[in-house]
Structure 1
Amino acid sequence: MAISPDPNHRTGGQLIVEMLCAHGVETVFGVPGESYLPVLDALYDTPSITMVSCRHESGAGFMAEAHGKLTGQPGVALVTRGPGACNASIAVHTAFQDSTPMLLLVGQIARGDTDREAFQEIDYRQMFGSVAKWVAQVDQTVRVPEYLHRAFHVAMNGRPGPVVLALPEDMLSETIEVPSECIRPVARKVQTVPESAEMARLSEHLRVAERPLLMVGGSGWTDEAAKDITHFAETWNLPVCTSFRRQDIVSNDRAIYGGDLGTGADVRLLEYVRTSDLLVVCGARLGEITTQGYSLLDSPLPRNRLIHIHPSAEELGRVYSPDIAIQATMGPVAKTLAELSPSPGDWSDWTASIRRAYLETLEPSLLQTALDPGHVILALREILPRDVIVTLDAGNFSGWPQRFLNYGRPGRQLGSTSGSMGYSVPAAVAAKLARPGRTVVSFVGDGGVLMTGQELATAMRYNAPIVIILVNNGMYGTIRMHQEKHYPARVSGTDLTNPSFADWARSFGAFAERVERTEEFLPAFERARNAGRPAVLELIQDPEIINSRTTISALRKKALQHQSA
């Protein structure tokens, strides 16, 4: 369909694309579908937007989510109705739990066919109602600018998250008269500044604290905000921990950094949180992972004094009642905290002890296996550039890069906090496309890679030379670990039959090597990084090493002893 010669007459598809342009969108991810052909046609005439054609809608959704996480602007995914939307739903759930700005545009059946169970018909308000910030269907072409403006506003502001818009196919092909000025309004981020009285109360609580602890996390952290919160913590000599997979907010090599409250958190850090007399939580949700199953703090009244700072009023007091609740976005609050006049108490021993405990976690145990994953990561830690982007999948293998790599700005850590498998490879592709000058390393297991690893083809098509470190232990390791804890020696459903992943990667045209010994890794990594094309390193890990702290035999022995007792 050609663009109308009258600039005020546009199809719904053209309006969609013009609104994307107005909001600065340069990349969209999707799998093409007949239900949104007018949008694809409008993209043909819009060279300023790259349409990244993916191999599965979950991959496209994860790419959009990762783009939003990395840039702070809503990542955009385009999918077709029915099966396409269902495939993308996992990424919407991820964006919701990770507080990531994202926009999912779904082609929809024609408006006149609604409620007939038409081909691939789904009511998306019901389907996405509990996992998106806002879900709507655009039934009137003239209102496309209104809906798109609101979608970007909702996705970016307050607690960021995903928005889903359903686009009926006949609405997209309809031509209407829309003045150009209707395209101009652009949604902006609303910065919420903390009140001076709240900051004064926070300062007074800090001055009388004996064992304060700062927890940072959540989304919305720019490099400048991360710099400001680090300055605040260092000026006050405050120990800092981070929530799950937010380790890049404060550089891990700083003397105030004490670790993260993710899966498998260090027991000493958990005890420090419990015994702190003032917990300042900045940006993080106090959810299940961060609170270790809601066990770190008493609900609804924690024994610790609690100051909670979050951009969403609905998140303050959701599970735990804070002594001070401050609604503010991360940029303004970090800047305000950095400007507070310091008058810290004598916390030097407290801060130093938390730091020492963290440093002791950075030395992995020497394993008597051909390939030692801990020492592979230690070697990698020495050579990665400071601005490296690391993407993490779900699985026990991720414990090694999470524990032993050094995170901090300008580098980035991108991982799903919702525990969704299949995130890492698509996220790495999106990261490399958004930041082509940076090294991007993806960590994924043999379970997750066959869920979305076909996006290696997307990396090849769009020349995104990522390095994928694929850990192959022949099992769904996390579930096997829980089996051995609760049903020792009763293995069911967790063994995997795998291809040769190196051969699999080469079939896409990627660089690939199989690594079986620790000393083989660094030379192979350098060859992969310098290959000039996407690369896969298949690491063969002894299945006995179930996670970064223990083995299957040790788990089984402990569980059997517990049962016999």
Structure 2
Amino acid sequence: MTSFPTRPLPPARSGARLLVDALLGHGVIRAFGVPGESYLDVLDAMSDTEIDFVVCRHEGGAAMMAEASAKLTGRPGICFVTRGPGATNASAGVHVAQQDSTPMILFVGQIGRAMRGREAFQEVDYRAVFGTLAKWAVEIDDAARIPEILARAFRVATQGRPGPVVIALPEDMLADIVDVPDAPAFEPAETWPGLTDMMRLQKLLWNAERPLLMLGGSRWNEKAVAAVKRFAERFDLPVCVSFRRQMLFPADHACYAGDVGLGINPKLVKRLKAADLVILAGGRLGEVPSQGYSLFGIPDPGVDIVHVHADPDEIGRVFQPALAINASPQAFAAALEGVQPPQTLRWSDWRQEARADYRAWSDQPPANPGPVQMATLVHWLRSLPADTAICNGAGNFATWVHRFHHFRAYGSQLAPTSGSMGYGFPAAIAARRVHPERLAVAVCGDGDFLMTGQELATAVQHKIPVLVVVIDNGMYGTIRMHQEREFPTRVFGTSLVNPDFAAYAHAFGAFGARVERDEDFVPALDAALASGKPAVVHVRLDPEAITPTTTLSALREKSLGDRSVS
């Protein structure tokens, strides 16, 4: 009979202590959350450790902070919330993690096991509520299974296509005393491309005339980004990135051709359609990067696509590739070192033209109506260190950042591909907490900022000197833009009456400044950084400056003109 080595059992522990020990064993050093009576035992167990627990003011902000920290570290972001409304408030962050392919674990306090099925106070069936929103939703009924379930949760969150895991914790289970060993520390499995895959990729490149490399998705790191950069240089390839993944390739590199997102450069669209080989590494080619699924044919794209993804279920979901490579981005990037370029690179002019198109599209922000110019903000952002985290949520204001700011380093961008408003400010707080030596700047719209603006209290309490630039045009700008196009002159439900955001900042004990003239813009930004405090710079932008390419009046007039012609 075969005998297996066994580890000695640690002393009997409560479920809460077992949970916290499991987090420590898997390398967790930070968590975000809002306290609740349903997981008081966990808070008590955590108090004896070095875990940095960032106390937040709303569960949505806490979940977004956890998601942003995971984007920067590649390790699951950890968030704790209480049952019922606490969990549903956090669902916004879970949705971001799901659509952005970000590893995250949300722990939810739950009612006692004996009360289930009676609609007890704040009772929710978390498997049902999060079943389609998270990658996995589970409730732990037996404290002895905590090491097993947490080990699985870390793997589910990080392996294949990363995503969020939701774990419900019945409060009485957390008090149970059990004798079980800890699970070994996890390390996510990397899926490596086969030698045949890389030989076929090399053959496709050798036969190509107009190749293009597109980067997207998650599971990247600095080493992988550097390896892809070397590959692009050896092959003289034009490189683009998918929506809000601009930190995957430096914008100042001669191979960089732009981002495939909302408001894309029309010349990049033409180039993608003219390519005879598209290598998509890490991304999913979803609705936004595929331009509403119009870039290529479905299911036959009409062009050779090499799709590299860590999850085989994502390959060929919409567009059928000529070559499917099931590999994680880090493993694929490492394997690129063995791919050799042809003796003659036939596409150097193609790459140079792609670069010239990007420069013409992105180098100089145009003037906008009103006394404050968005170009001033963009030029100031460009002057910051390359590793500064530039964060944003959703809104037309983000167009200036995405199109005209030059992201130059991995970890320098935090933005939701899910298009979630309110994301930028919590993301910046997380970025500064994860990397306190680096700057973090959130660029927010007025409606966007007030989705999570109360987290200013979190930044002040924890002394996190994040800078928020609030672009205030007194409206939900993106929705107004669509409204003027579809229902010109019939404005309804999109106007906003805002506070003085500088005074709002002062009320929290933060730095605040108000900008109404362009000449005051840079001094206010510099003073905010120099304050050493969390800071809000309130920028009054002319409502006419709806996008970099049009005004609100012009949009309305065009819409009315189109209707009169039809």
SS at match of 1:207: helix
SS at match of 1:361: helix
CA distance, structure 2, for counterparts of residue 359 and residue 205 of structure 1:
29
User: Contact 2:433–2:464 (CA<8 Å) still a contact in 1?
Assistant: yes
Give the Å deviation of 1:409.
1.7
Give the Å deviation of 1:479.
0.2
Match of 1:516, as an amino acid? E
Match of 2:6 in 1: none
Q: What per-residue deviation string (whole Å, max 9, x for no partner) do you get for residues 135-173 of structure 1?
A: 110000100000110000110111111000011011011
Match of 2:260 in 1: 261
Match of 1:26 in 2: 29
1:53-202 residue pairs with structure 2 within 5 A?
53-178=55-180, 182-202=181-201
Q: What per-residue deviation string (whole Å, max 9, x for no partner) do you get for residues 279-316 of structure 1?
A: 11000111001101111111111011111001100100
SS at match of 2:102: coil
1:271-420 residue pairs with structure 2 within 5 A?
271-343=270-342, 345-362=345-362, 363-381=364-382, 383-420=383-420
CA distance, structure 2, for counterparts of residue 353 and residue 515 of structure 1:
39
Give the Å deviation of 1:501.
0.5
Give the Å deviation of 1:487.
1.2
User: Contact 1:387–1:412 (CA<8 Å) still a contact in 2?
Assistant: yes
Match of 2:206 in 1: 207
CA distance, structure 1, for counterparts of residue 104 and residue 379 of structure 2:
34
Give the Å deviation of 1:506.
0.7
Give the Å deviation of 1:379.
3.3
Match of 1:42 in 2: 45
SS at match of 2:172: helix
1:226 correspondence with 2:225: yes
CA distance, structure 2, for counterparts of residue 391 and residue 71 of structure 1:
16
Match of 1:87, as an amino acid? N
CA distance, structure 2, for counterparts of residue 151 and residue 411 of structure 1:
25
CA distance, structure 2, for counterparts of residue 188 and residue 25 of structure 1:
13
CA distance, structure 2, for counterparts of residue 167 and residue 364 of structure 1:
50
Match of 1:3 in 2: none
Give the Å deviation of 1:176.
1.7
Match of 2:215 in 1: 216
User: Contact 1:209–1:345 (CA<8 Å) still a contact in 2?
Assistant: no
Match of 2:237 in 1: 238
Match of 1:372, as an amino acid? Q
Give the Å deviation of 1:458.
0.5
SS at match of 2:545: coil
Give the Å deviation of 1:347.
0.6
CA distance, structure 1, for counterparts of residue 25 and residue 447 of structure 2:
40
User: Contact 2:15–2:143 (CA<8 Å) still a contact in 1?
Assistant: yes
CA distance, structure 2, for counterparts of residue 368 and residue 562 of structure 1:
24
Match of 1:551, as an amino acid? T
Give the Å deviation of 1:255.
0.7
User: Contact 1:22–1:186 (CA<8 Å) still a contact in 2?
Assistant: yes
Give the Å deviation of 1:353.
0.9
SS at match of 1:430: helix
Normalising by structure 1, report the TM-score. 0.97
Match of 1:405, as an amino acid? H
Give the Å deviation of 1:408.
2.4
Q: Which stretch shows the higher mean deviation, 237-246 or 359-368?
A: 359-368
User: Contact 2:225–2:410 (CA<8 Å) still a contact in 1?
Assistant: no
**In the comparison of the two structures, how many residue pairs are matched?**
555
Match of 1:407, as an amino acid? F
Residues 97 and 368 of structure 1, relative CA distance in 2, 3 Å threshold? closer
Give the Å deviation of 1:411.
4.6
Match of 1:422 in 2: 422
Give the Å deviation of 1:184.
4.1
Residues 430 and 379 of structure 1, relative CA distance in 2, 3 Å threshold? closer
Give the Å deviation of 1:244.
0.6
Give the share of equivalent positions with the same residue, in percent: 50
CA distance, structure 1, for counterparts of residue 203 and residue 230 of structure 2:
19
User: Contact 1:29–1:51 (CA<8 Å) still a contact in 2?
Assistant: yes
CA distance, structure 2, for counterparts of residue 523 and residue 275 of structure 1:
46
User: Contact 1:371–1:518 (CA<8 Å) still a contact in 2?
Assistant: yes
SS at match of 2:298: coil
SS at match of 2:379: helix
CA distance, structure 2, for counterparts of residue 549 and residue 100 of structure 1:
33
SS at match of 1:396: coil
Q: What per-residue deviation string (whole Å, max 9, x for no partner) do you get for residues 166-200 of structure 1?
A: 1101101111222xxx2141221111110010111
Q: Which stretch shows the higher mean deviation, 494-503 or 551-560?
A: 551-560
CA distance, structure 1, for counterparts of residue 430 and residue 231 of structure 2:
32
Unaligned residue ranges in structure 2 (runs of 5+): 1-8
Unaligned residue ranges in structure 1 (runs of 5+): 1-5
CA distance, structure 2, for counterparts of residue 441 and residue 81 of structure 1:
32
Give the Å deviation of 1:361.
1.4
Q: Which stretch shows the higher mean deviation, 408-417 or 281-290?
A: 408-417
User: Contact 2:241–2:258 (CA<8 Å) still a contact in 1?
Assistant: yes
CA distance, structure 2, for counterparts of residue 477 and residue 278 of structure 1:
38
Normalising by structure 2, report the TM-score. 0.97
SS at match of 1:248: helix
SS at match of 1:163: strand
Match of 1:413, as an amino acid? Q
What RMSD in Å do the two structures reach over aligned CA positions?
1.1
Give the Å deviation of 1:227.
0.3
Give the Å deviation of 1:355.
0.7
Q: What per-residue deviation string (whole Å, max 9, x for no partner) do you get for residues 318-364 of structure 1?
A: 01110100010111111111332222531111111111111011212
User: Contact 1:376–1:518 (CA<8 Å) still a contact in 2?
Assistant: no
CA distance, structure 2, for counterparts of residue 137 and residue 258 of structure 1:
46
